[in-house]
Structure 1
Amino acid sequence: MTTSPKTTRTLDVRPGMGEMVKPVELIEFRGAARLTLHDRRLYNILLHHAFGPDLATENRRFEIALSDLKDGHDSNDRLIQSIEALMRTVVTIRRGNGRTERVQLLGWNDISDPDRTRGTLRYSMPPELAVLLRDSTVFAKLEIEVMRNFTSKYALALYEAVSRRVRLRHMMTELLDLSDFRELLGVEGGKLEGYGNLNKFAISPALVEVNALAEFSVSVHPQKTGKRITGVLLGWAMKDEGGRRAAWAELQRPRVGRRARITGTVEPWTPE
């Protein structure tokens, strides 16, 4: 008798050194367009810190040092603004069985000693989200250093979306409706209307950063219905060894001047 292979639960996967595992339910959803790059980075830190079987335990509380949540000279006020933005965000998740669920991204939390560098944040995931993640079996492995270097929330969103697709053996492209692609990038409704603006201010900057820093390359080609652009063809491929080495080398260079370097407008920087 032939037995089907056991499906691996997302929360049982062990991330490698320098990477985090993120359930697909928290990568592709509707409702998070108003989140900033800082908000998204913070959520990834909280998720990575809590990741594991306990993440699916209802009312489980986690604790993390405030110093681990700040980027450079971030203030506590900015941190609190992002926490509250995550608490206000209700996302819509479409399940494979046809169901649609709406949940908050972040639940109860408490900051102790907010005026001290040794303060901590205690937090929980909403119980409904914990239940949803309990059955998750699709995920992406994300390089933490790559995500830390993005300067655009669109680049981070594109990187996460392609990271969960790039290891699929039977796919190298996917046709997406334009409205779905806008949601995937996290473009707010009413902003960047028209494909020209969307491409100039969201798609092109995201492609520049992802293609320079990730271990894979990404392409986006507009698709027309008649004279109107109604979708995009998203393509991806793993880089060869030389491409991966170039991406790693760029991550070691200063962020200052990066855009000029990766767009080819100056000579590449080399360490002394």
Structure 2
Amino acid sequence: MMRELTCKAEEQLLKPTATVHVGNRLSLIERKVFNALIWHFQRHQGKTDNQMSVNLLMSLIGLGRSKNMDVIKEALEQLTTTAIIWNSLKQDRTTNWGVCTFLAGAELCGGQLRYVLNPLLVDKVQNPTLFAKIQLLIQTQFSSKYALALYEFLIDDLCRAGSPKTHSLEVSLDTLRHVLQFDGPYKHLNADVLKPCLREINQHADIDVRYQAIKSGRSVAAIRFVLERKAVQLMLGGMIEATVEADANGDPPIEDITDPLITALIAQGVGLRKAKALVAAHDEERIRGNLAHAVAEHKAGKVKNFAAYLVRAIEEDYRPMPEPPRQPSEPSPRLAARQAQEQLKADWERFRSQRVRERFAALTEAEQEAHRAAFVERLQHGRSILLKPYRRDGFKSPMVEAQFFAELSESLLQAPEELNLQAFQSALSRGA
């Protein structure tokens, strides 16, 4: 069934401008069903009571062979009950304003959808004076209702300008909020809606879009969009190849593929057969590394045909080579001498500390107690900061113990290498 979705003129939806600018709150699925039914109705002009395959409808909205009929039922219910204010921006040449439901009725029976378009919309859908040319295969790729609504709005303006290769338009913030049905402040509109929308449009649609905020005083008053057409056939080639192969070769539908690498490649526009070949030929680290590289290059504006570039990147391994580890540079003679001197002092202090503890341990118990008593006497008659920790912990305090042995070094250390750094260095040289 998905084989019907190719880049041919008859598979374009000529969506009337009046219905592009609908003032409602359709969900993503409801808007896709809305578009699919307009496309189907246009292909069967003259009929007010139409039938279409449910499988075809599911393919047109990007659900493939999903069996979840509840989403279709809910969408049809909304389209038969929700009032749609069309041509709300007053840009259609023939009608100023209108309100109605989209469908007069709908019925699901035996794998077929029977639907009746609201009579007020029949002529506008059959003979639109202004319309946006929307590829149905493109709409299946959108996962955000804001992205699809913004894409339709931009494509509509591009078509009304004669479909130039590049086009710019300035949209007031009030108009943009109406189109997207988002009422929050600009900082949230920008961060939560515009940026994610344009990432999705640039990745999946047939246009590249940039935008710039236009201020009035200190506040943002409008947005200037710059649009550039892509080569549709090149951009959609991977998607078409994937869906056609799935039908022709008996492969599982894309929704049923479980290999995360294959799924990741297909999501970037690589064909199913090619994705399988790449995963079979290369390890996961190489594929993911080149995918990250390709995404970075695309964001930098260096890549136009992303899927083709990604395939070449994986096959030829475009990953940036890791920088070799830097060899530690040799310190300057002056720095080396200073470091050696600091190390010598540290070794000498450790030597002195060990020696004073050895000498103290060699004393009799009475001599040891005399040294402790003299130390405590000095603490109590001075203003030492050690008095408080001594009263709390005695000689178990690390600070007290360290000071005790530091003072003992004056009376217990007597050898030249214990008293003089140069003598210590000479003793080390003789020992070496």
Do both proteins adopt the same fold according to a TM-score greater than 0.5, normalized to the shorter chain? yes
For the aligned pair, the TM-score class normalised by the smaller chain equals 0.7 to 0.9
Residues 101-145 of structure 1: CA deviation (Å, up to 9, x unaligned) = 1121222112224xxxxx211111111112444552111211222
- Is 1:106 matched with 2:103? yes
SS where residue 150 of structure 1 aligns?
coil
> Which residues of structure 2 form unaligned runs of 5+?
1-7, 243-261, 269-290, 299-305, 316-432
- Is 1:79 matched with 2:75? no
Aligned position for 2:192: 201
- Is 1:237 matched with 2:228? yes
Aligned position for 2:82: 89
Kept in 1: contact 2:16–2:132 (CA 8 A):
yes
**Cα gap change, 1:100 to 1:180, in 2 (>3 Å):** same
How far apart are the structure 2 equivalents of 1:153 and 1:51? 23
**Cα gap change, 1:140 to 1:232, in 2 (>3 Å):** same
Shift of 1:36: 1.3
Kept in 2: contact 1:86–1:105 (CA 8 A):
yes
Aligned position for 2:146: 154
Residues 137-190 of structure 1: CA deviation (Å, up to 9, x unaligned) = 111211222111111112212222222232425882222121211222x3344x
Kept in 2: contact 1:175–1:233 (CA 8 A):
yes
- Is 1:181 matched with 2:137? no
**Relative CO higher for 1 or 2, CA cutoff 8 Å, sep ≥ 6?**
1
Residues 39-67 of structure 1: CA deviation (Å, up to 9, x unaligned) = 11111111111115736x6xx11101222
SS where residue 176 of structure 1 aligns?
strand
Aligned position for 2:33: 42
SS where residue 15 of structure 2 aligns?
strand
How far apart are the structure 2 equivalents of 1:49 and 1:122? 12
- Is 1:21 matched with 2:14? yes
Kept in 2: contact 1:25–1:133 (CA 8 A):
no
Kept in 2: contact 1:91–1:102 (CA 8 A):
yes
CA RMSD across the alignment: 3.1
**Percent pairwise identity:** 21
Aligned position for 1:264: 296
Q: How does 1:46-85 map to 2 (within 5 A)?
A: 46-52=37-43, 54=45, 60-70=48-58, 71=63, 72-85=65-78
SS where residue 26 of structure 2 aligns?
coil
Shift of 1:89: 2.4
How far apart are the structure 2 equivalents of 1:166 and 1:237? 10
The structure in which a higher percent of residues are helix is 2
Shift of 1:29: 2.3
**Cα gap change, 1:97 to 1:166, in 2 (>3 Å):** closer
How far apart are the structure 1 equivalents of 2:170 and 2:97? 22
Kept in 1: contact 2:42–2:126 (CA 8 A):
no
How far apart are the structure 2 equivalents of 1:224 and 1:66? 48
* Amino acid corresponding to residue 170 of structure 2 in structure 1: L
Larger radius of gyration: 2
> Which residues of structure 1 form unaligned runs of 5+?
1-14, 114-118
- Is 1:130 matched with 2:126? no
**Would you say how many aligned residue pairs link Structure 1 and Structure 2?**
241
Aligned position for 2:417: none
**Cα gap change, 1:216 to 1:226, in 2 (>3 Å):** same
Aligned position for 2:137: 145
Kept in 2: contact 1:175–1:231 (CA 8 A):
yes
- Per the normalisation by structure 1, the TM-score is 0.75
- Per the normalisation by structure 2, the TM-score is 0.49
The structure in which a higher percent of residues are strand is 1
* Amino acid corresponding to residue 144 of structure 1 in structure 2: L
Kept in 1: contact 2:101–2:118 (CA 8 A):
yes
Kept in 2: contact 1:20–1:144 (CA 8 A):
yes
Select between 175-184 and 159-168 the one with higher mean Cα deviation: 159-168
* Amino acid corresponding to residue 181 of structure 2 in structure 1: V
